[in-house]
Chain A
Amino acid sequence: MKTLAKEMLEGLLRDISRKALVYCPQRNERGDLLLLPLGEGTTDGCIGKTPISAKICLFPQIEDVVMFAGDGISKVTDGRETVVFGVRPCDMRGIVFMDRFMSRDNLVDPHYFARREAMTCMVVACNEPPSETCFCTATGKRPFLTATHYDVQFFDAGDYFIALAGSKKGNRILEDRHFKAAAEKDIEKVKRIKENSSAAGMAAGELEDAIKKLAEDRVDGLFWEKLALRCIKCGGCAYVCPTCTCYNVQDYPFEFGYRRCRSWDSCLFSGFTRETSGHNPRATQGARLARRYEHKLKYDLMKYHEIGCVGCGRCSDVCPVGLGAIEIVREIALMP
């Protein structure tokens, strides 16, 4: 356990950035708080819930997967050392979720794991929920990590952070000159922070009720069709979600041949399942909206004994028509 004075944070990140690509929450020129490479925005405490989670550092919006140059074919992987500061506990749970998905059934995604193995996650626990849409506590979790999936976890103790390492990589970070030894009282402080933190964007009972109704197939097609009338098919809910990993694949020319790229896709798009013949096994927008929530709240539970929603509330933040997880769960819970 170490401590870090808040004014030392930037110095720490600059130290790390000599050897690795550092991401942290920064403000762009319009004032949006985004997870950007250090120096691409203005650091402003480097803390907050960014609209897109740390997923973007592992599974970027678009990435090359294969290169075709002449007769040569090569697989492209990116293993640059990357350190991310300001990963939210929910983001980290999303990453752990992706780790399992990206390696399930011995099909280990080489592009994802090249990045993952080169990534160090510095999580910042939430004393207070960073936004009113946070509902990790409703999913049965807390706004900090208990299992050591993180490399370092920071607790905000006012004018300084208390930092705990969860891995060898984390231990190495804590060796940086900016850290100081922690005192006895810091153990007590962490305990108090943990006790007092919660996130209340959704009542736990609502989520349980919705999960139960979905498991029992009590939510019918009409329910979804009515809600989906509002959906403008922007795909935003999937893009911002820390556990959504669906992608499309497309080839693009470059000076020596072609690059095969994968980019974020969304099950809310009608073309997502439409086959060349025009046949579409998921034919309506209601069926597509249902898919998003059944996948997370029903099928993931069946497969992994854990729902595929980490309660970050980002889909509710971003959906322009109020069809995020919070609203959907509430609608289902209100059903008779």
Chain B
Amino acid sequence: MGAENLKAAPVDLMFQPHPARIVRVLPQMEGHRLFQLRFVDDDAMLLFSHGPGQFVEVGIPGVGEAPISLSSPPTRQGIVEICVREAGLVTSALFRMNKGDQVALRGPFGRGFSTDLFKGHDLLLVAGGLGLAPLRSLLWTILDNRSEYGKLVLMYGSRSPDDVLFKYELLSLMNRADMQYLLSVDKDDEGIWRQYVGVVTGLFEKVELDPGNTYCALCGPPIMYRFVIREILKKKISPKRIFVSLERMMKCGVGKCGHCAIGQYYCCTDGPVFNYDEIRDVKEAL
């Protein structure tokens, strides 16, 4: 049995976890935190380059690994940001960790949003709940190269005013003239919400979209897709211009363990971002 030592081996970020240090923990809403990570090994950090919509496997020795979307944009290298919801074993263990502690990272994995395709076009980003995590990466990729893209609309639906992720960061977008930012909350029991109350689909009344020139990027819970896609199609945008990020149980991230299979595709290698036209008829996809 040969245990290949990390230092001797060429940098393999796909099958070999690499130690990464938690640089900062930024609490978001209840049960959600933003972790800033940095590979301990500079070679690994240099080699790591991702696109928006890709994900990493975050590992904690003795506990396991979990696939988590990259929340930081590729335009800001040197740090890896992930926004995590406390859910089960791995994520809870991560929540017990603090600045300076180490995790074991693999990645980046999968196909993300194609910014090459999006360049020069109008963009509609629709996020539901934690779906904002990967779309934040896309959002800042666009904003950091604003002139390369056309009109930009971000729609974000949360459950309640207390459940808005990246609240303050997003607040700064409200005043930007070069984008439209629309927020909705499903319900507002305390009556404090000044914007739209209702499901995210209600926001479609407020936007004008050029069907021949707009690409749409969606990430949210499965139920959101059905309704949001219907609204987009009503605006006469072609299914080929819609991209959705899907979530599946994952174990390996490299297309081997089989858990994430959707029809003939593997969510971890063919996705997680899929063209809607390609998967709308695939069994179990949406």
Q: What 0/1 readout, one digit per residue, does chain B (90-116) give for beta carbons within 8 Å of chain A?
A: 010000000000101000000000000
Say yes or no: A72-B6 contact (C-beta < 8 A), given A107-B254, A245-B256, A251-B64.
yes
Q: Roughly how many angstroms separate A66 CA and B1 CA in the complex, as a whole number?
A: 12
Q: Roughly how many angstroms separate A301 CA and B125 CA in the complex, as a whole number?
A: 36
Taking the closest CB of chain A, its distance from the CB of B69, in whole angstroms, is 14
Of B6, B255, B263, the residue contacting A74 (CB under 8 A) is B6
Interface hits, A251-272 → B, CB 8 Å = 251, 253, 257-258, 260, 262, 265, 267, 272
Q: List 20 A-B contacts (CB under 8 A).
A: A65-B15, A74-B6, A76-B2, A76-B4, A79-B2, A102-B256, A104-B255, A107-B254, A111-B15, A246-B257, A247-B252, A247-B257, A248-B251, A251-B64, A258-B61, A260-B61, A267-B261, A273-B249, A276-B91, A281-B262
Binding site for B on A (CB under 8 A): 64-68, 71-80, 101-102, 104-105, 107, 109-111, 114, 245-251, 253, 257-258, 260, 262, 265, 267, 272-277, 279, 281-282, 287, 291, 294-295, 298-299, 302-303
Binding site for A on B (CB under 8 A): 1-6, 9, 12, 14-19, 59, 61-65, 87-88, 91, 102, 104, 222, 247-249, 251-252, 254-259, 261-264, 269, 283-284
Please name all residues of chain B whose beta carbon is closer than 8 Å to the beta carbon of A102 when the two chains form the complex. Answer: 256
Are B259 and A272 in contact, with the CB atoms below 8 A? Answer: yes
Say yes or no: A68-B256 contact (C-beta < 8 A), given A78-B2, A273-B248, A295-B261.
no
Q: Roughly how many angstroms separate A161 CA and B4 CA in the complex, as a whole number?
A: 41
Please name all residues of chain B whose beta carbon is closer than 8 Å to the beta carbon of A294 when the two chains form the complex. Answer: 283
Say yes or no: A105-B258 contact (C-beta < 8 A), given A75-B12, A110-B12.
no
Are B6 and A258 in contact, with the CB atoms below 8 A? Answer: no
- The 3 A-B pairs of least Cβ separation, nearest first, read A246-B258, A68-B61, A299-B264
Are A74 and B251 in contact, with the CB atoms below 8 A? Answer: no
Are A75 and B264 in contact, with the CB atoms below 8 A? Answer: no
Please name all residues of chain A whose beta carbon is closer than 8 Å to the beta carbon of B258 when the two chains form the complex. Answer: 245-247, 265, 267
**Helix, strand, loop or mixed for chain A's interface?**
mixed
Please name all residues of chain A whose beta carbon is closer than 8 Å to the beta carbon of B12 when the two chains form the complex. Answer: 75, 110
Q: Roughly how many angstroms separate A248 CA and B283 CA in the complex, as a whole number?
A: 23
Please name all residues of chain B whose beta carbon is closer than 8 Å to the beta carbon of A80 when the two chains form the complex. Answer: 1
Are B62 and A258 in contact, with the CB atoms below 8 A? Answer: yes
Taking the closest CB of chain B, its distance from the CB of A164, in whole angstroms, is 33
Are B61 and A257 in contact, with the CB atoms below 8 A? Answer: yes
Of A78, A110, A248, A287, the residue contacting B1 (CB under 8 A) is A78
* Contacts A75-B15, A275-B249 known; 13 new A-B pairs at CB < 8 A: A71-B19, A72-B5, A73-B6, A73-B16, A102-B256, A105-B255, A107-B14, A109-B254, A245-B258, A267-B258, A275-B248, A276-B88, A303-B264
